[in-house]
Amino acid sequence: MLNPVVLAVCIMLGLSLMRVNVVVALTLSALIGGLSAGLSLSDTVSAFEGGLGGGATIALSYAMLGAFAVAISKSGITDLLAHAVIKRIQGQHPETLSNTIKYSVLIMIMLMALASQNVIPVHIAFIPILIPPLLSVFSKFRLDRRLVACILTFGLITPYMVLPIGFGGIFLHNILLKNLAENGLHVTASQVPQAMILPALGMVTGLLIAVFFSYRKPRDYATDIKPKNSQADSTLKPVNKRHLIVACIAIVATLSAQLYSGSMIIGALAGFVVFTFGGVIAWKETNDIFTQGVHMMAMIGFIMIAAAGFAAVMKATGGVESLVQLLSTSIGDNKPIAALLMLVIGLLVTMGIGSSFSTIPILATIYVPLAVAFGFSPMATIALVGTAAALGDAGSPASDSTLGPTSGLNVDGQHDHIWDSVVPTFLHYNLPLIVFGWIAAMTL
């Protein structure tokens, strides 16, 4: 009988590719997966509803980050950034635009995405603020938005794989290291980022392929559709210098509070408070600003909540354990095949759950003793578990690493979440991650 995890993930992906709403796809596939595993309908629904609370923290985090991102836009920083790019190319014919300017824009976007994970930990909340004003720039360059989606996803995932600060500190130390240690693997904090360097090179490889091969050709978009909430126009509104200073202080406060508390909610709240007391946001506007932030991030929050329910049903089915049991009993002592299958199982599990952070506790419990039994070194085990968890973060319809780029690139309705964000990032990042993760497992 088909494994319930494999069945549920395949159904979820199939429905998503057919453009069914991701929340609906997650819910239906979770129900089918639970029933196929022998759970009753009431038990399946109970497991799903019981897991929804696990996504509440993430949803509230994104709501707070959305409010913080709206506050940043009120300060004028994003206006300055977008206007600087637009002014640079204004009046020039597309044929005369140099590659230097085009790649400068792409590098700027990538640096912003990288910084959002470690330096200014707003995660994906910066995307709906920064990207819409730049859509006219992309159109002038005839830039393929699938390329921009790949660049954003690269910046959202790669830093937490190797840099132990910000979200990387949470992923590498608070989750990966902790779960490995709890399952009996003796490793040090310094070994974890070292073991993940080689898998991260798979992300770099995928990015280079996307930039220089897959999406280098021009792609035309309709230019008569005005993006909603676009702040990009031909003139720059006067920017209050005091507001810019307050914005810098708020960014520092957000980073400090998050690193100290380990909570995105506390970090975003600290920044929001600084904006309020600094006069960027009037007291009477706080409710409107928060409402705008919630509206901006609402769909992502609902998808993450549904993904938490999906994950709870998958745990209840025991499908992951049966997959690994099948792996351990059917391949004998074939270490290379074991490493490959462990990575593929991680891909399936993470694509269903949508979060590499949430996948580690599931995989580590099973993978650590299995890796020890196959004779993998501690460093190789780190690479296996870390890569298996990161696999699927790119390319999952329920992942914030694909939902975030879509939220900014589709404000004018010309960027499809599945075919323009999910499929491109799956092809360019998951496949190289499997290759480089396998090499790391076999060589470390």
CA separation for the pair 398, 418 (Å, rounded): 10
pLDDT above 50 (res 201): yes
Most confident of 76-90, 263-277, 387-401, 430-444: 430-444
Judge whether 47 and 250 are in contact, CB under 8 Å.
Answer: no
What pLDDT score does 205 carry? 94
Most confident of 213-222, 261-270, 361-370: 213-222
pLDDT above 60 (res 228): no
CA separation for the pair 9, 3 (Å, rounded): 10
Span 63-82, mean pLDDT?
71
pLDDT classification of 238: cutoffs 50, 70, 90? low
What pLDDT score does 197 carry? 92
pLDDT classification of 219: cutoffs 50, 70, 90? confident
What pLDDT score does 224 carry? 61
pLDDT above 60 (res 91): no
Domain that holds residue 211: 4-217+231-443
CA separation for the pair 169, 390 (Å, rounded): 15
Instruction: State the total domains in the chain.
Output: 1
CA separation for the pair 206, 214 (Å, rounded): 10
State the helix-helix crossing angle for 319-330 and 286-317, rounded to 10 degrees.
50
Say how many C-beta atoms besides its own lie within 10 A of residue 358's C-beta: 20
pLDDT above 90 (res 177): no
User: pTM for the complete prediction?
Assistant: 0.76
Judge whether 263 and 63 are in contact, CB under 8 Å.
Answer: no
Q: What is the mean pLDDT of the chain?
A: 79
Q: Is residue 222 included in any domain, yes or no? A: no
pLDDT above 90 (res 328): no
Q: Is residue 223 included in any domain, yes or no? A: no
Ranges 82-86, 212-216, 300-304: which has the least confidence: 82-86
Q: What angle do CA 222, 113, 142 make, to 5 degrees?
A: 25
Q: Is residue 338 included in any domain, yes or no? A: yes
Contacting residues for 69 by C-beta, under 8 A, at least 6 apart = 122, 125, 126, 128, 129, 293, 296
The more confidently predicted of residues 363 and 421 is 421
What pLDDT score does 234 carry? 44
pLDDT above 50 (res 230): no
pLDDT classification of 433: cutoffs 50, 70, 90? very high
Q: Which of 291, 316, 438, 283 is nearest to 376 (CA)?
A: 438
pLDDT above 50 (res 231): no
pLDDT classification of 95: cutoffs 50, 70, 90? low
Span 101-118, mean pLDDT?
82
Q: Is residue 138 included in any domain, yes or no? A: yes
The more confidently predicted of residues 344 and 90 is 344
Q: Is residue 169 included in any domain, yes or no? A: yes
Q: What is the pLDDT of residues 340-366, one digit of tens each?
A: 888 887 787 777 666 677 677 777 777
For residue 81, count CB atoms less than 10 angstroms from its CB and return exposed for 0-12, middle for 13-18, buried for 19 or more.
Answer: middle
